[in-house]
């Protein structure tokens, strides 16, 4: 990828997420990380298993970045937030998609003892310009 790489992405919605709270619901939000640094966080949608976020972001990727991580979380008012699942995309995986990527991707577990449900529909497109490359990424929906 070129020195100046920008990432444009949209986190739209989730569907049929697992209930993580005793009330039978979750309070979901998404975190986006480049390597280990948090670069974006959606608003929390309280008591909802089918959240709509509809949030758009633009970020500039550092030249030596290794991966892009999408974490779907459940916010808790007491204690630590619960991880619902994650998707990790390596720099190589993003760069190898010449025509972009538009598919459902299963959430994977963060804790080996946890069961994971759900998937996220991601749309990524690497836009090439003579001076720079850009990556367009949309989270269409999650279920």
As a residue count, the chain comes to 143
Task: Grade residue 76 by pLDDT with cuts at 50, 70 and 90.
Answer: very high
Question: Distance (Å, rounded) from C-alpha 78 to C-alpha 137?
Answer: 33
pLDDT mean across residues, the chain: 79
pLDDT tens digits for range 102-137: 777 778 777 766 666 677 777 666 655 556 655 566
pLDDT: which is higher, 82 or 141: 82
Q: What's the pLDDT at 81?
A: 94
Instruction: Identify whether the C-beta of residue 40 lies closer than 8 Å to the C-beta of residue 16.
Output: no
Could you give the percent of the chain with pLDDT greater than 70? 72
Task: Grade residue 3 by pLDDT with cuts at 50, 70 and 90.
Answer: low
Could you tell me how many helices (H) and strands (E) the chain has, helices first?
1, 9
Instruction: Identify whether the C-beta of residue 86 lies closer than 8 Å to the C-beta of residue 69.
Output: yes
- DSSP 3-state assignment of 140? strand
Task: Grade residue 95 by pLDDT with cuts at 50, 70 and 90.
Answer: confident
Cα–Cα distances in Å, from 3 out to 18, 53, 75? 40, 31, 36
Question: Distance (Å, rounded) from C-alpha 47 to C-alpha 3?
Answer: 42
Cα–Cα–Cα angle for 77, 27, 110, rounded to 5 degrees: 90
What is the pTM (predicted TM-score) of this model? 0.78
Q: What's the pLDDT at 24?
A: 93
Q: Are strands 133-142 and 5-13 parallel, antiparallel or unpaired?
A: parallel
pLDDT tens digits for range 31-54: 999 998 999 999 999 999 888 888
């Amino acid at each position: 990828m070129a020195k100046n790489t920008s990432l444009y992405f949209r986190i739209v919605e989730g569907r049929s997420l697992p209930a993580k709270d005793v009330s039978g619901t979750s309070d979901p939000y998404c975190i986006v990380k480049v390597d280990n640094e948090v670069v974006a966080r959606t608003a929390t949608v309280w008591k909802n298993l089918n959240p709509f976020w509809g949030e758009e972001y633009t970020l500039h990727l550092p030249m030596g970045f290794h991966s892009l991580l999408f974490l779907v979380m459940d916010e808790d008012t007491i204690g630590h937030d619960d991880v619902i699942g994650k998707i990790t995309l390596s720099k190589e995986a993003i760069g190898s998609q010449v025509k972009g990527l538009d598919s459902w991707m299963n959430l994977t577990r963060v804790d080996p003892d946890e069961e994971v449900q759900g998937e996220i529909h991601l749309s990524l497109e690497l836009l090439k310009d003579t001076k720079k490359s850009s990556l367009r990424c949309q989270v269409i929906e999650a279920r």
